[in-house]
Amino acid sequence: MTAVDNRTPGETRRVHVREVGPRDGFQNEPETIRTADKIALINALGRAGFERIEVASFVRPDVIPQLADGVEVLRGIDVPDTVRRMVLVPNSRGLDNALKVRELFEDVTLFVSSSQTHNQRNINRTVEQTMDDVAVMGKRVVAEDLTFCAVIATAFGCPFEGHIPIDRVLDLAEQFAAAGATEIGFGDTTGMANPAYVSRFFSAAVERLPGVELTAHFHNTRGQGLANAYAALEAGCTSFEASFGELGGCPVPAGSTGNISTEDLVSMFHEMGVETGVDLDALLVAARQAQAVLGRKLTSHSIIAGPVLWSTATP
């Protein structure tokens, strides 16, 4: 199956790029970043033109101490009104805590792993238990007039269970949609995807989930992240998640390195003539600021080489 291009002749392609570094990136750092530094970095990202930034999560602080200051960060940031602030919620208790500060964000992300083993190791629940909770939480999120976003981890393979059938992943996606999710992300949690499979996957997802915003979240664990993003784009996906500086990864299992670098993803799209609405120069300022805060060189190509000298593809 191939996606149908519904654009009129000459129409410019546009994608949405969501920045997840302040949550997905910071939680995997070995040290805890100072609250003031987090706020400064998120403010810098806010000036880069993102429509959405994932700012914090409402997980137990003893499980992920790097994000224990989430409410302080949400209260301290100063981003444009055009930026939607997102939070990640693992369960009903987390949602209870999040709703105590409902005024500090607009979007809520609920998540599950398509792999039973990964879900158990990640949040100590079966997939079925998680989805039962999702059905309840989804109603609460929608009732609060918040945007209900979903993420399905290990969508392209699990290090414990291997290949995950497309139908299993899309069945979970349909359950999320039935619970009220208007945007569903598919995570290549440990970097097991390849472009050919990504193309088949998103062609099937576009067909199965009409009217739902589908988001691709790739990791660069094995160096195929940008190729996978291109394959998703060509299959009809127009929404992507990435992390500035290529920060992040998956704590289960060890060795699952970072997300696609947001600046590399945006740079690629701009070179192809695909609009993102993101100011690449401002994004690079934020990425280099993160490098200074962390005190080490980050791994994105764009930090090292800088952007190319043109903004659209050459003839």
Tell me 22's DSSP state.
Answer: I
Catalytic annotation, residues = 250
Query: Is the residue at 37 inside a domain?
Result: yes
For each of the chain's 315 residues, which pLDDT tens digit applies?
444 454 545 568 999 999 999 999 999 888 889 999 999 999 999 999 999 999 999 999 988 999 999 999 999 999 999 999 999 999 999 999 999 999 999 999 999 999 999 999 989 999 999 999 999 999 999 999 999 999 999 999 999 999 999 999 999 999 999 999 999 999 999 899 999 999 999 999 999 999 999 999 999 988 999 999 999 999 999 999 999 999 986 655 555 567 999 999 999 999 999 999 999 999 999 999 999 999 999 989 999 998 886 544 444
The pTM score is 0.92
Q: Report the CATH number that the domain containing residue 175 is assigned in CATH.
A: 3.20.20.70
Query: Is the residue at 65 inside a domain?
Result: yes
Query: Is the residue at 313 inside a domain?
Result: no
Q: Number of structural domains, the chain? A: 1
- Whether 245 contacts 298, CB under 8 Å: yes
Note down the domain range covering 91: 16-305
The C-alpha atoms of residue 17 and residue 242 are separated, in whole angstroms, by 7
Query: Is the residue at 312 inside a domain?
Result: no
Query: Is the residue at 106 inside a domain?
Result: yes
- Whether 218 contacts 183, CB under 8 Å: no
Query: Is the residue at 8 inside a domain?
Result: no
Q: Report how far Cα 283 is from the mean position of its chain's Cα atoms.
A: 16
- Whether 111 contacts 119, CB under 8 Å: no
Query: Burial of 39 by CB count in 10 Å (0-12 exposed, 13-18 middle, 19+ buried)?
Result: buried
Query: Is the residue at 7 inside a domain?
Result: no
What is the secondary structure of 33-49 as a DSSP string?
Answer: PPHHHHHHHHHHHHTTT
